[in-house]
Amino acid sequence: MSTFTGVASDLDEMVAYEFQALEYLRGSLFGQSASSCHGIELTLGNLNREGRQQIQFSSVMRDGDCDDALRSALSRLRPLAFSAGFKLHDMIVEWILRANGRNDWAFKKKLENYDSLILNSSLVEPDFLAQRPILSKAFWELYRYFVPYRGTVIHSGGVLVATDGTVEITKRSKPHQPPAPPLRLTDVEQSSYIRAMCLIANHHVGRVTINPHFEMLIESDLAGLVGYHSVRGLRVRHARVEGLVVKVPTEQIQNLAPLTVRIDFDLLRDMMVRAYPVAPSGELFFTVDVVVDRGATTSRWLLPIDAVPTGVVDLVEGERRFDDFLSHETVSAS
């Protein structure tokens, strides 16, 4: 069996600009925020008489939450968000094909190369796709379906944004051909597409380790787009998203230089599942806001749902995996 030889840093460089833009739009426009306005709050090490971690429910509105006026203005960028999501998709496709010795840049040639490799059973994919053939096929067939419409967004106009957020893209037909049906992507479908592409890209550049929870989220997102890729066998499951704030007092800090905090994320997940039960076919996702009190400085790791790990993990200042989510604030003297 052949081994995939694509280099993660190559893909990282290819998608850097689009990824940065989409990370902002995911939170501000599509509600895929790293923070939640409600959820559970706990202080690490604060145990009850039975030795269990004590928790409390909270409801907090954070500064900078996206208001209606800003969201309305950002909604006009939906076609560009779709285009950036497709660019992520396209760059992953190109990265995979290059690793298979196919270096064409035109969309049509990329699809021909994919079809040829599939026909000869010689396509080598990264493990995430190779080990999930139904999901892989949905990934490629979704790309095939969206290719003609991407050109319309960039070059030809024919794009409308409805008041409910639906994006309608009309594909320009060739002379003497019947007009193609317009592509109508609802707000939910746009959100699903962009999140799935961001998660897949994030995994392949090493920012996210796919676990069963995120695999389910990607599968559910792609299943919701079955009307476009026509691949059956993916399951849509109901996702519930909540927030968790973990306060870390000084005595719970593992190391000050570099700042290190040890968190049992499986324990946190068990607590969240007990607090927020979901249906058997559902899944709970949660953000984690780790707030570290260092006296004159407050440090925080604000982890979005796709960055919350599993198991016992040391959050270490300076480590690339989590450093993008770390910030520091000087506490002013009262």
- Indicate the Cα dihedral angle 103, 109, 115, 119, nearest 10°: -70
- Whether residue 224 is predicted with pLDDT greater than 50 in this model: the reply is yes
Instruction: Place 265 in a pLDDT band, splitting at 50, 70 and 90.
Output: very high
Q: Establish how many alpha carbons lie within 13 A of residue 103's alpha carbon, considering only the half-sphere containing its beta carbon.
A: 1
* Cβ contacts of 298 within 8 Å, gap of 6 or more: 291, 292, 328, 329, 331
Q: pLDDT at position 81, please?
A: 86
Q: Which pLDDT score is estimated for 1?
A: 65
* Cα dihedral 201→13→111→215 (10° resolution): -10
CB 186 within 8 A of CB 193: no
pTM beyond 0.85: the answer is no
Q: How many helices (H) and strands (E) does the chain have?
A: 11, 12
Q: How confident is the model at residue 186 (pLDDT cuts 50, 70, 90)?
A: very high
- Mean pLDDT over 19-30 rounds to 74
Look at residue 64 in the predicted model and tell me its pLDDT. Answer: 43
CB of 257 within 8 A of CB of 297? Answer: no
Cα distance between residue 77 and residue 138, in whole Å: 26
pLDDT score of 36: 46
pLDDT for position 61: 42
Instruction: List all residues 6 or more positions away from 172 whose beta carbon is below 8 Å from its beta carbon.
Output: 152, 156, 158
Q: Which of 61-70, 264-273, 312-321 has the lowest mean pLDDT?
A: 61-70
Please say whether the beta carbons of 179 and 287 come within 8 A: no
pLDDT over 80 (residue 306) = no
pLDDT for position 153: 63
| Cβ contact 143:93 at 8 Å | yes
72: amino acid identity, one letter: S
Buried b (16+ CB within 10 A) or exposed e, 199-236: bbbbbbbebbebeebbebbbbbbbbbbbebbebeebee
User: Which is higher by pLDDT, 43 or 144?
Assistant: 144
Tell me the sheet residues that pair with 255: 260
